[in-house]
A and B are shown apart, each in its own frame.
Chain A
Amino acid sequence: MTTTTLAVLVPLLPFLGAVAGLLLGRTAPGFARPLAVLPSVAALALAAVVAVRQGGGQAVDAATELTPTGSVPVELALHINGFAALVAILVGLVATCVQIYSTGYLRHDPRYTSYAALVSLFTSAMLLVVYSGDLMVLLVGWEIMGICSYFLVGHYWETPEARAASIKAFLVTKLGDVPFLIGLFALAADTGSFRITKILGNVASGGLDHPTLIALLLLAGVAGKSAQFPLHTWLPDAMAGPTPVSALIHAATMVAAGVYFIARLLPVFAASAAALVVLAVMAAVTMAGSALAALAQDDIKRVLAYSTIGQLGYMTGALAVGDRGAAVFHLLAHGAFKALLFLAAGVIIHAAGTNSLAAMSRMKDLRARVPDAYWTMTVALLALAAIPPFSGFFSKESVLGAAEHAAVGHAESVPGAAGWIVLVSGLVTALLTAAYAMRLWLLAFHGHGTEAPDHGKQPVAMNSVLWLLALPSLAFGLATGLLPDWFDGRDLTPTLTTAVLGTGVALVGGIVTYGAWRHTTAMVGRVPLGAVAAHPDADGGLVEAEAIASHEPAYGNVASAPDPADPGRLLLGPLHRHAAVGFHLDAVYAALFVRPVQAAATLVRFLDREVVDTYVRGAGTAPRWLGTAVRRAQTGNLQTYVSALLAGTVVLVVAVLLVATAGA
């Protein structure tokens, strides 16, 4: 088979799997698991074959036009370069891991079949985005991901948190998608095509009339999808979905779509220096703010969610300094270790019966209950904190190196300011990242207090996946030397300055957190805290749903807990209160958008109920009153009737006479 055929099959197989799963889910539930796992495995294998055949060389391009679509043709097009091939492998890998993990995590879930089918559909959409060479087709996959994430985040729709989170995720991403769509049209209007190759060729020859406008419009969609400030608020809330969904959607694929999109169209963004500066500022605010917020979260998955936002900030930062190689490198490394972190967190939540770090810190020997999760999570946290020689070190150093490169003015067409912004914020975030990674590790695995509950071994399907994902987290750094062949050819090896600086601040962050933890951990015994799920022996999915639902009643807040033994509280000081709620951005949005809309809705309801309905009611009441009056006239007294009749006759006669005589 040709490479093109294989590449077409890559998104098609999960799609067929999803359709089959939805159709057969009820009638043949026995097929649900194979239908979920096998297409993903096949897609992964095919993506690997495609990558090997492409080999980082000339991009594979293929296009077919199904039907004429007016002035700007929409074509089913493939555009597979090194970025696409490698990202497809990542998507396939994470999707496969998530599907395998879900068979254990949601083993007894009654809605497993639809869940697995939606995950497959989601994978298919992401692969479509990755491979598509036509922006309209890309948009199709982009929007399918949006609706799938709505369904998957709302998987536990029995809980109000999940319902609210799914609607919020959908609305916020759509808020970005509207300008995104307009931006796509503007881009097509300027370049005359939706094909990525033609657009890039057009941009290279300077054919773009409104680069800043287009870049900013597209940036809005990217910010919504990739959870960048100020459209990031949906991601922490989306943790109300099942853990594998968080791993798939909100760590490795969907949020990566935005970054990947910019990486594909980087020349369009690079055409506007203003857009790059905006991108850099956005990345910097996202990075630093999310890292601070992560330090204050109590829900283990919300810590990871904010960490995802921060790492995505690194990627957009790399894009802001014009180095898409570094961005995609970090995307790949981060996709692997963040998926691992989420899946391990799912195991921990299942084992501990709670998602609260405060409760975990009061459990002794939790790490002995889940040794696999403990070791793999340690690896992943080290990678997250960018400690050498784990994969995160290399990818993050490549980002910082690119920023330094731009800051000192070596990068053409990239403003030095953008470089400095990304560099400084990247270093600050490295410090904070190490701090919250350390805090997570210490609180989750080094608690004091009662013995952790023993629910037996975790399912093999869940543990094996953790080790599978630990491999790239450990060893992906080795690929640093090979990757430039696949990317733009720019060197990705860490420079000495940034490597020393980055590792130094990361170590400082970790040590300071450790010190703070030593200081506060004595208080653990004094303040009892914690709530455990009602069915600790049930499926991971059920335990997690119960844990999320009980977090607010138990701790007063879905995000944080009143735990004085939390080192994050000591480190952040007065900032903790604000960081715990995401720096009140939700409150600001509530004041700016939600309340006005609700007020308008109240007004509309008032107008409908009190004004419009008054007319409607009046239309009923007036005839009734009229009828009552007329009925009152029906006395049965003939003389009254005749009187009225004759009075009317007289009036009519007089009127006729007056008219007649007036005319005469």
Chain B
Amino acid sequence: MTPAAATVTAAQATTTTAAEAHGFLSPTGVEIAFLLVGLVTFGAAIVTVTTKQLVHAALWLVVALGGLAVEYLLLTAEFIAWVQVLIYVGSVVVLLLFGLMLTRAPIGRSPDADSANRWAALTVALAAAAALVWVVVDAFRTTWIDLDGPAAGSTAVTGASLFQSWVLPFEALSVLLLAALVGAIVLSRKAKEAARGTATASPRSAALGSAAPRSDSDKEGVR
């Protein structure tokens, strides 16, 4: 743990870990920006997984994902950054919020947002973090990314590689998206039917007049 902790602090550029030309003690501007945005992102992520207000968690997730988009920009991957903003911040989080609404998640503080597994989870997460950070720092403390020159992730570059080298997986991905689309429809349609079924089944008098399979399944359900 202690060496891992030491390397974590080293990664925070406070100790004297040696790098050939680029010491951790003399960070560049990009690095400082990355560090600050990273701290914000990490903080937002922490709040996301610990807050007791479920809707706040979704909103903090927006911050974290947005922070990641900024990091992508800092890494000169601009196309990915915009995709991140569009898809995650634009759709995923909105979907999640809809989900929260539809499951009638409580607005405001819910004291049982965390399960009883919390301490085990914390232990596992800390151990994993220690191990990962230790390994990553140990492996890459001297590696330097040269961010000068043309952007590595501009739209042109990404589009070229995507539609030259990755066109087949790209098409396959469309099949996957189609399958997901169909799956989601099937799942929610069944859910809708089930919801209607429970709605009609709950008053017993109404259930009496319904069709034969309905009563069959009702019996099974009772059994």
Contact = CB atoms under 8 A, between A and B. Distances in A.
Contacts of B120: 640, 643, 647
B117 A653 contact: no
Interface in B107-145: 115, 117, 120-121, 123-124, 127-128, 131, 135
A650 B117 contact: no
A647 B123 contact: yes
Contacts of A637: 115, 117
A646 interface: yes
A647 B117 contact: no
A639 B124 contact: no
A599 interface: no
A653 B134 CA distance: 12
A657 B131 contact: yes
A616 interface: no
Interface string A614-645: 00000000000000000000000101100100
A478 interface: no
User: What is the interface of chain B mostly: helix, strand, loop, or mixed?
Assistant: helix
A604 interface: no
Interface residues of A, number: 10
Contacts of B115: 637, 639
B121 A650 contact: no
B117 A657 contact: no
A643 B124 contact: yes
Nearest to B127: A650
A547 to B, nearest CB: 76
A643 B117 contact: yes
Contacts of B121: 639, 643
Contacts of A653: 131
A527 interface: no
A638 to B, nearest CB: 10
A647 B135 contact: no
Nearest to B138: A661
A639 to B, nearest CB: 5
A646 B117 contact: no
Nearest to A657: B135
A21 B41 CA distance: 106
A23 interface: no
Contacts of B127: 647, 650, 654
B137 to A, nearest CB: 13
Interface string A454-493: 0000000000000000000000000000000000000000
9 contacts: A637-B115, A640-B117, A643-B120, A646-B124, A650-B124, A650-B127, A650-B128, A654-B131, A657-B135
Given A639-B117, A643-B124, 5 more contacts: A647-B123, A647-B124, A647-B127, A650-B131, A657-B131
Interface of B: 115, 117, 120-121, 123-124, 127-128, 131, 135
* Among all A-B residue pairs, the 8 with the closest Cβ atoms: A639-B117, A643-B120, A647-B124, A650-B127, A650-B128, A646-B124, A654-B131, A643-B124
